[in-house]
Structure 1
Amino acid sequence: MVFYFKARPEAGDYTIFMGLDKFENEELIKYGFPEDIWFHVDKMSSAHVYIRLHKGQTIDDISEGVLEDCVQLVKANSIQGNKVNNIDVVYTPWSNLKKTASMDVGQIGFHNPKMVRTVRVEKRINEIVNRLNRTKVERKPDLKAEREAVNAAERAERKLQLRDKVPSS
Structure 2
Amino acid sequence: MVLFFTSTAIDPPATIYMGKDKHENEDLIKYAWPQDVWFHVDKLSSAHVYLRMPESIESWEKIPQALLTDCAQLVKANSIEGNKKDNLTIIYTPGKNLKKTGDMAVGQVSFHSDKQVKRVHVPKRENVIVNRLNKTKEEREVDHEQERVDREKKESAIRKAAALKQRKEEEELAKKYSDEKAARDYSLLDVDPNDEEARRNAQEMMDDFM
TM more than 0.5 = yes
| TM-score, length basis structure 1 | 0.91
- Residue 127 of structure 1 deviates from its aligned partner by 0.6
- Residue 8 of structure 1 deviates from its aligned partner by 2.0
Bigger radius of gyration: 2
Contact 2:10 2:67 in 1 (8 A): no
Q: Distance in 2 between matches of 1:64 and 1:161?
A: 31
Aligned runs of 1:134-145 on 2, under 5 Å? Answer: 134-145=135-146
Deviations 1:70-94 (A, max 9, x none): 0000000000000111111100111
Aligned runs of 1:18-57 on 2, under 5 Å? Answer: 18-55=18-55, 57=58
Give 1 or 2: higher strand fraction. Answer: 1
Aligned runs of 1:92-107 on 2, under 5 Å? Answer: 92-107=93-108
Distance 1:46 1:160, change over 3 A: same
**Counterpart in the other structure of 1:110:** 111
Q: Distance in 2 between matches of 1:52 and 1:107?
A: 21
- % identity of equivalent residues: 51
Deviations 1:103-149 (A, max 9, x none): 11111100110110111111101010000000111101111110111
Contact 2:9 2:70 in 1 (8 A): no
Match for 1:145: what amino acid?
Q
Contact 1:35 1:57 in 2 (8 A): no
SS at match of 1:6: strand
| Structure 1 runs not aligned, ≥5 long | none
**Counterpart in the other structure of 1:68:** 69
Match for 2:8: what amino acid?
R
Aligned length: 167
Aligned runs of 1:141-152 on 2, under 5 Å? Answer: 141-152=142-153
SS at match of 1:75: helix
Match for 2:114: what amino acid?
P
| TM-score, length basis structure 2 | 0.74
Please identify, of 38-47 and 22-31, the stretch whose mean Cα deviation from structure 2 is larger. 22-31
Contact 1:72 1:129 in 2 (8 A): yes
Comparing both chains, which one has the higher relative contact order based on Cα–Cα distances under 8 Å and sequence gaps of 6 or more?
1
Give 1 or 2: higher helix fraction. Answer: 2
RMSD (Å), alpha carbons: 1.8
Deviations 1:18-59 (A, max 9, x none): 100111111111111122000000000000001111237311
- Residue 13 of structure 1 deviates from its aligned partner by 2.0
Q: Distance in 2 between matches of 1:151 and 1:29?
A: 17
| Structure 2 runs not aligned, ≥5 long | 172-210
Contact 1:90 1:119 in 2 (8 A): yes
- Residue 9 of structure 1 deviates from its aligned partner by 4.9
Contact 2:74 2:130 in 1 (8 A): yes
- Residue 161 of structure 1 deviates from its aligned partner by 4.9
